[in-house]
Amino acid sequence: MPTFQDEMRRVKAEVDALILDQILPKSSPIREVDLLYRMMRDYPSRPAKGMRPFLCVAACRAAGGSEGDAVLTAACIELFQHWILVHDDIEDGSELRRGEPALHRKYGEALALNAGDALHARTWEALLKNRERIGLDRTFAVMEEFSRMVNETTEGQHMELGWVAAKRWDLGEKDYFEMCTRKTSWYTVASPCRMGALVAGAGAGVLTGLKDFGTTLGVAFQIQDDALNLVGDQKKYGKARSDDILEGKRTLMLLHLLSVVSQSERDKVVAIMDKGRAQKTDADVAFVLSTMEKYDAVGFARKKASELLKLSLATLRGIDWKGDKEAVSLLASFARFAVEREW
């Protein structure tokens, strides 16, 4: 039996070929449009994990469907990931994406935004082509789920950005979990799995189980992602370390820290986090990191992620699968990777 990472790489290669060879245009005789096409192909050409397409294909197989029927949907989920990251990098002021300068750092914000919009449009265009293989009913069911995924993600992103803009600190674990469920869980786990199951014609019981599995695991995934931003290997992680501190993000580590530190430490951390990215100094970042280390904020968060992993695996085992049992095992292996990974 292949490992889930072998399968993830295999599906990613198939999806990348579909995106770069068939879905996205390669060139134009008009110089400006040619640049647009090159920008649209930039993030899709960079190395990436390919988790979401893998989940879509694996869930389709587990629900009794054919991998070939799910590949186009999987490619569209990956395209969504690309264009949402173009916009996310601008909103967060990020410097790096997958080990290279973010698109807006290479070409400027206006052109990068437009390239993200263009990828967005191509995604819906490609989704419509599903009707030729899986029929109209399943195509529209997939598109309805895709629409929910976009809505949940943008709402969660707005919550996070809004907290920073309003300098809100009256937040706790429950708020963080709600934000992560919307911002991360739906597009990282729940919807990719549910779209794969929809392609296979799965019933309401499977879809509900995948919603519960995905929303729980997605929060655990985000907790680990936040931890890696602070203590991970930048070469493996592919993004600048401590970016979340520079961006003022309300991570679980930070919210926990503020609940256990002394009042003077809390005041100093909040004052630092309320500064704009350009105003934060290396000493500011170092103070936040050292205070987190003092109170083992990362250890606290990773324990929460492990608890959520156990809940998600129990949910996965409870789903009445009709298809490939190997695919179910691959989904469980992915869940463990999502929380234990170093990249």
Say what the pLDDT of residue 129 is.
Answer: 97
- The pLDDT of 173-182, averaged and rounded, is 97
Say what the pLDDT of residue 2 is.
Answer: 82
Judged by phi (left if over 0) then psi (alpha if -120 to 50, else beta), residue 213 lies in alpha
**Alpha carbon distance 222, 245 (integer Å):** 15
State pLDDT tens for residues 265-280.
999 999 999 999 999 9
Q: How many CB atoms lie within 10 A of CB 325?
A: 10
- Contacts of residue 28, defined as CB under 8 A and 6 or more positions apart, other chains included, come to 34, 36, 37
**Alpha carbon distance 34, 60 (integer Å):** 36
Backbone φ, ψ for residue 52 (5° rounding):
-65, -45
**Alpha carbon distance 201, 139 (integer Å):** 11
Alpha carbon separation from 177 to 33, 172, 247, 305, 314 (Å, rounded): 41, 9, 19, 11, 19
State pLDDT tens for residues 92-111.
888 899 889 999 999 999 99
**Alpha carbon distance 283, 44 (integer Å):** 36
State pLDDT tens for residues 115-124.
999 999 999 9
Residue 186 token pair: 């739906």
The mean pLDDT value of the chain amounts to: 95
- The pLDDT of 3-19, averaged and rounded, is 95
Alpha carbon separation from 289 to 153, 242, 340 (Å, rounded): 28, 8, 21
Say what the pLDDT of residue 249 is.
Answer: 95
State pLDDT tens for residues 289-322.
999 999 999 999 999 999 999 999 999 999 999 9
**Alpha carbon distance 120, 228 (integer Å):** 28
252-260 vs 173-180: helix axis angle to the nearest 10?
A: 180
Backbone φ, ψ for residue 100 (5° rounding):
-125, 165
Tell me the pTM: 0.94
The alpha carbons of the chain give a radius of gyration, in whole angstroms, of 20
189-203 core/surface letters (b: 16 or more CB in 10 A; e: else): bbbbbbbbbbbbbbe
State pLDDT tens for residues 184-237.
999 999 999 999 999 999 999 999 999 999 999 999 999 999 999 998 655 554
State pLDDT tens for residues 65-80.
999 999 999 999 999 9
Say what the pLDDT of residue 240 is.
Answer: 58
Architecture of domain 4-319: Orthogonal Bundle (1.10)
